[in-house]
Amino acid sequence: MSELNDELTDIFRDDAAERLNQMETVLLAIESGDAPDAGAESVDSLFRNAHTIKGAAGMLGLDDIRALAHAVEEVLAGVRDAGVFRPELAAPLLRATAALRAQVAGGAGAGEPVAGLLDDLAASKATLAHGEAGAAAPAAAAAPGPGLPGPRMPGPRMPGAAGSAAPTAPEPDVTGTTGVSGVLGASDVPEATLPDQDARAASPDVAMPKAGGRPLRVPAEKIDRLLDVVGEVMQYRGRLAHSLGGQSQLSQDAADVLTGSDRMLDELKDTAIGLRTLPLEVITRRLPLAVRDLCRAAGRDVEFVVAGADTEIDRVILESLYQPLAHLLRNAVSHGIESPAERARAQKPSRGRIEVRAVPRGSLVEVVVADDGRGVSPEVAEQARQEGSLGDVLARAGYSTAAEMTDLAGRGVGLDAVKAYVRSLGGSFEVRSEPGQGMQVVLLLPLALALLEVLLFQRGAAVYGVPLVAVEEVVRVTQTLTLEGRRALEVRGRPLPVADVAALVGATAPRLGHKAAGLVLSAAGLRAIVTCDSVLRKEEVVVKPLGPLFGGIEGYLGATILGDGRIALLVEPALLTRAARRAPVLTGPAGGRSAEASPAGESRPGAGAGLAPAQTPKILVVEDSFTVRELQRSILEAAGYPVVTARDGRDALAAVGADPEIALVVTDLEMPELDGLELTRAIRADKARSSLPVVIVTSHGSEEDRRKGAEAGADAYMAKQGFDQQALLAIVERLIGR
């Protein structure tokens, strides 16, 4: 936390020095009478700069700077009201900026004593206040300033009351110091500052503008405490419900009161969460400068763009997000974006582009760092195709070593840490990249940390919870199919892998009954059914971290204390869907780890499941027999896949070339014009589509055919006589798994 504070202080120093430069330039011009416009614009820019320095200094606890800047601001406000900037006023202001510069650079004790300066400035201000009353009208005439509704001082003012600010309206100048202050408030600076309101405390006799719509300064810990208390109240509410038993046992009156209080509690909770969120801008504001410096150091030319900076994120997450974000940007600059010369060779615009963008997604926020650099190496891309997740590949230790990071392969520098960070927040992490095509790192983060809607379920003696957003539906699991050695169940026409939650998390539990409950989960781009003894209820729970001592553990969002005092573990749904997908569970009760430990086994040439595009992949069916073609089309369409058809290999090749959305080819072997083997070879030879999965379906079932198909580069082979729709769907699912 103090790191953040130090960093902010450094940023403040740079920023303030720059602003003081600007102020001095203007003041010198005014003093020498050279100012072309000694009225509106000059005063306005001076005022803005002073105001910004004041706000930032106040937030960082640099009181002398704040007081001085405030006094300067007061003089400038008087000047503006007077409508005339008399050159002799510039001198005391220049002394003040010099003192400010010394303070900013050297900390306390540097430069002229602040107290004396404050007196001088108060005196300057007093001369303005006296005898200049009539000047207000010319001021308005001289400064009609379009877009100049600048921060004016409303109401009566305390002349010369340096340090006791009159209330100001929030400034239109979006230097946005308010946001940063909130972040800081949580850490080192005891008081988070929303725009200045210290006037209230300091000079109670100042007339207040209307109460509505004005920001109020609240210490950040108070907001945290509020949310904590809301959480605790909800916990008590849970216990109350538990001890009262069901609603049926209550009188109508009591039930009504409970319902009403629940409604208010919900509102209270939402309001409290609203207080905790801040726009992403709070941390991205500092990024352009940092990226610029990185680019200079690395000799890169980059356009840096931040989109969705107004997206609101939990303050606690924001605090911790800066470092991972900076890390990803460092990676993008030093390992992603090529040198201008290299870009020219690759026929890319010489100027690279890096974008940070945030998009709210329901109870989550998606934060993406994208670049148009060189992307991953072909080897890494291939490995990702086989394993299913580029993020997992890059985040592995092997890609974290310095030796590899210097080369094309390495983009995973510290990605393991970023991944661990995101998962520790209950979010998910994904990387998309193709060689030469840049890289996108996607972080999905929860909107609010403390409270989570979960579905609670029982397995053995333990109670688990998964975020409700990941649960599609709950089904009875009576009988399962066996597909490729794995248990599966068809849900809405699509077979999904089925696995016991105890096996997935690695817990021991008695064998499941015949009528187990199944949660249809969707996470990390994968779907799976997770079985348990019974589903308990949906509940909004207070998420408590497992604590730092569980540091390395993945797969848990934390734990929560239930109404009866028991603890429920909150499981990360991505852990479950991934493990269910990968574990060949039928050989025995496998631990959750077996998912990671299992050998690569079958290759997965299709698009990695974790990276599958959101839209449903399109399938091309190639078959010369109308009947068979229609049958296959029907089966696939019933399962929800868009299907296009072709009558022979030549038509098929044309279709593949013309339609980039085709994600899989199911082809007959023997066809006129161009047969299935030739089609497969042609696809493999096509640079653009060489990784397109191909399934060969034929009436022959011979080993010879199978070998030929494999040699041609087919990913799967099916015999027509054994043809059943489940098997086809299972293969399709495996290749372009969703």
Partner 1 sequence: MSVYVRLRVSSEAFAIPVEHVLEVAEFGEVTAVPRTRPEMLGVRNVHGQILPVVDLALLLGIPSTAPPGRLLVAEEGVRRAGFAIEEVSGVGELGDPTAETVSDLLAGAIFGDGDLIGVIDVPRIFSLLQGSGALPGPAAPPGARVPQDVEAPQDAEAPQDAEAPQGARQ
- The residues binding partner 1 (CB under 8 A) are 3, 232, 235, 320, 323-324, 326-327, 397, 400-402, 405, 413-414, 416-418, 420-421, 424, 462, 503, 505-511, 544-553, 555-556, 558-559, 561, 565-567, 569, 588-589, 591-594, 597
CB of 313 to partner 1, least distance (A): 17
Cβ neighbours of 48 (radius 10 Å):
21
* 227 Cβ contact list (under 8 Å, min separation 6): 272, 273, 275, 276, 450, 451
Owner of token pair 């199919």: 481
C-beta closer to partner 1: residue 89 or 395: 395
Residue 434 and residue 390: Cα distance in Å, rounded?
10
CB of 260 to partner 1, least distance (A): 26
C-beta closer to partner 1: residue 52 or 389: 389
CB of 444 to partner 1, least distance (A): 17
CB of 235 to partner 1, least distance (A): 7
C-beta closer to partner 1: residue 438 or 555: 555
**Residue 148: C-alpha distances to residues 39, 143, 172 (Å):** 12, 8, 9
CB of 327 to partner 1, least distance (A): 7
Residue 270 and residue 448: Cα distance in Å, rounded?
10
What is the secondary structure of 321-362 as a DSSP string? HHHHHHHHHHHIIIIISPPHHHHHHTT--SSEEEEEEEEEET
CB of 383 to partner 1, least distance (A): 17
Residue 654 and residue 28: Cα distance in Å, rounded?
72
Helix (H) or strand (E) holding 518: strand 516-523
**Amino acid at residue number 474:** V
Q: Cα 314 from chain centroid?
A: 11
C-beta closer to partner 1: residue 279 or 414: 414
CB of 443 to partner 1, least distance (A): 13
C-beta closer to partner 1: residue 149 or 510: 510
Residue 736 and residue 360: Cα distance in Å, rounded?
27
Given a contact cutoff of 8 angstroms between Cβ atoms, the answer to whether 355 and 368 are in contact is yes
CB-based contacts of 126-133 (< 8 A; 24+ apart in sequence): 126/159, 126/160, 128/75, 128/78, 128/79, 128/81, 128/82, 128/89, 129/78, 129/159, 132/78, 132/81, 132/82, 132/84
C-beta closer to partner 1: residue 264 or 397: 397
CB of 87 to partner 1, least distance (A): 48
CB of 437 to partner 1, least distance (A): 25
C-beta closer to partner 1: residue 195 or 592: 592
**Residue 672: C-alpha distances to residues 12, 141, 236, 587 (Å):** 73, 87, 73, 44
C-beta closer to partner 1: residue 554 or 724: 554
**Amino acid at residue number 30:** I
CB of 322 to partner 1, least distance (A): 11
Residue 95 and residue 109: Cα distance in Å, rounded?
16
C-beta closer to partner 1: residue 148 or 233: 233
C-beta closer to partner 1: residue 350 or 401: 401
- CA 277, 281, 284, 285 torsion-angle sign: negative
Helix (H) or strand (E) holding 465: strand 462-467
CB of 548 to partner 1, least distance (A): 5
Residue 72 and residue 52: Cα distance in Å, rounded?
12
CB of 485 to partner 1, least distance (A): 18
C-beta closer to partner 1: residue 57 or 521: 521
Q: In sequence order, which ranges of 203-298 are alpha helices (DSSP H)?
A: 220-244, 252-276, 281-284, 287-298
Residue 12 and residue 184: Cα distance in Å, rounded?
13
Residue 212 and residue 199: Cα distance in Å, rounded?
16
C-beta closer to partner 1: residue 134 or 547: 547
Closest of 515, 536, 549 to residue 465, by C-alpha:
536
Structure tokens at 666: 């199911």
C-beta closer to partner 1: residue 254 or 567: 567
C-beta closer to partner 1: residue 544 or 647: 544
C-beta closer to partner 1: residue 528 or 718: 528
Residue 153 and residue 537: Cα distance in Å, rounded?
56
CB of 453 to partner 1, least distance (A): 19
C-beta closer to partner 1: residue 418 or 653: 418
Residue 128 and residue 89: Cα distance in Å, rounded?
10
C-beta closer to partner 1: residue 195 or 414: 414
CB of 554 to partner 1, least distance (A): 8
CB of 559 to partner 1, least distance (A): 5
Q: Cα 297 from chain centroid?
A: 27
* 93 Cβ contact list (under 8 Å, min separation 6): 23, 27, 46, 72, 75, 76, 121, 124
C-beta closer to partner 1: residue 195 or 238: 238
Owner of token pair 């590949």: 393
Pairing of strands 312-314, 364-371: unpaired
Given a contact cutoff of 8 angstroms between Cβ atoms, the answer to whether 50 and 73 are in contact is yes
CB of 552 to partner 1, least distance (A): 4
* 85 Cβ contact list (under 8 Å, min separation 6): 30, 35, 38, 39, 42, 43, 79
CB of 398 to partner 1, least distance (A): 9
Closest of 493, 495, 478, 479 to residue 727, by C-alpha:
495
Pairing of strands 486-491, 481-483: antiparallel
CB of 551 to partner 1, least distance (A): 3
